[in-house]
Structure 1
């Protein structure tokens, strides 16, 4: 059987403009796709309008363009995919792989993570007041090979770890939407931050429950600030300066353990930096432990989970 064409993606949530940590993830996923002569996609995970400033999507796409990172297909917006997510939920409910849940977080904490309403054992009719829908995990000691971190093993506990796939407010959750869209877009490889590593075993079960094999995973260290917090809107990460794309790309390559030539800092166009990066990309040089991200005040790479 022929090896399927590599298809990777960068999927930010539009909660604010891109920051340096976002650029590092985008560049790593772009370079992995180009090294494999594959496709690189961009998907906006715009599923939570309460947390998404209206200008954020435009800012993100503008930043990617300024840094020469153009997708190989039209940008996908998850906000336009509700029908697909609902269809997946109905399929999971019918297969007894999902259930309705009225338990609050406070109730779950007070009950050591178990559902006081016995939601998995006593199905709730859809018209019985506000409720979330959770995926019904199986007990498992999941094992897989991360393309950077090597052999991985995670313990999944049924009921205790069951992720929400539809929130009480009616919003579709990341854990469901990311799987449905990866399946629909034929994504074969996922490059993302190691802060999402703990979700992998759960997502693999959702893939299989929906009839698909999971993609291959590559988890890179996230960029953190001086306090050890991941760069994000919540940690007040500064937005990328889109007027300095060459310097940003050179620093991102350094953060990814590559060794960009000093002359690249004086390149006249971003294409020169990206051409060099493609020609010299070394996955084996990606960092596994904390290191300084050059040019970012207080920014470091956090240790990977191993």
Structure 2
């Protein structure tokens, strides 16, 4: 732990200014990869940006493994991702949180929403929704078929949360003002799937709140999800963190790097050159001689010179 900056009374009366430190660090960021494969360059970029945003402000940086869906998890990938972060010199604060061990917390949030009549069971199949929906920002908009009440005979499948049509506004630190009306843009969305798996939207909101996350730095591909998360934060009485959505790394075909697009894992050999490539992608201007340096010197330079306003 760093030493408190509090001074004694004698010192403060001797012309020093007392600095009161908050009990929590004022900045808590996080990196939350899904273990669907090893770390690729796109996830390295997100890790580096979230790490530097936190560390350049003397904040904390947490790591959370988002492994809600056992069918998508690759055995050993979590360990590989954490090993890669260590090789790249990124030290996280506190212990790593695994979402697949957190069902009780997610269930508690669902119970609270249910007690306020904010969620309902839905028996619609994907095909039924696709047939009767208009296409919104993020695929078919759920038309609210089961919103009234399901007949007792219906096979209840998923749990959906009620959305309203009030305007949700987020000021993203890179993208400016983001606006959505959930009911017409997205529709009532799923919080627990038919197979019992909790939805990403619910888990991420509960985890960020419980971990005291103040700033979320992640890829622009998650920007459309943010109003849904803000809606849940408001329903659950959580505060809303600050958001920054980064440019997404794409391959030569213009597709986002992911396991689906067969993104190459970052090789742990020569980590400095890959870190330099990552900060360059983020608009930073590392000096040419930094390529000769070691990890420690790289991070020293990066923490001192990080400027988020240069991110394209």
* Same fold flag (TM > 0.5): yes
Contact 1:103 1:117 in 2 (8 A): no
Structure-2 separation of matches of 1:16 and 1:231: 12
Contact 2:282 2:311 in 1 (8 A): yes
Q: How far did 1:140 drift?
A: 2.3
Match of 1:118 in 2: 145
Structure-1 separation of matches of 2:174 and 2:144: 41
Name the SS of the counterpart of 2:110 in structure 1.
helix
Match of 2:122 in 1: 101
Structure-2 separation of matches of 1:24 and 1:124: 49
- Number of aligned pairs? 285
Structure index of larger Rg? 2
Match of 2:173 in 1: 147
Name the SS of the counterpart of 1:205 in structure 2.
helix
Structure-2 separation of matches of 1:240 and 1:276: 22
Q: Deviations over 1:241-278 (max 9, x none)?
A: 011211110000100000011111111x2111111000
Match of 1:89 in 2: 110
Superposition TM-score, scaled by structure 2 size: 0.87
- Is there any run of 5+ residues in structure 2 with no aligned partner, and where? 1-21, 134-139
Match of 1:66 in 2: 87
- Is there any run of 5+ residues in structure 1 with no aligned partner, and where? 288-306
**Alignment partner of 1:16 out of 37, 48, 69:** 37
Contact 1:100 1:124 in 2 (8 A): no
Instruction: Check 1:123–1:5 CA distance in 2 against 1; reply closer, same or farther (3 A cut).
Output: farther
After superposition, the CA RMSD in angstroms is 2.0
Contact 1:115 1:159 in 2 (8 A): no
Instruction: Check 1:137–1:117 CA distance in 2 against 1; reply closer, same or farther (3 A cut).
Output: closer
Match of 1:171 in 2: 197
Structure-2 separation of matches of 1:114 and 1:255: 35
Q: How far did 1:129 drift?
A: 3.7
Contact 2:191 2:201 in 1 (8 A): yes
Instruction: Check 1:206–1:242 CA distance in 2 against 1; reply closer, same or farther (3 A cut).
Output: same
Match of 1:226 in 2: 252
Q: How far did 1:168 drift?
A: 0.7
Match of 1:285 in 2: 310
Match of 2:157 in 1: 131
After superposition, residues 215-254 of structure 1 pair within 5 angstroms as: 215-254=241-280
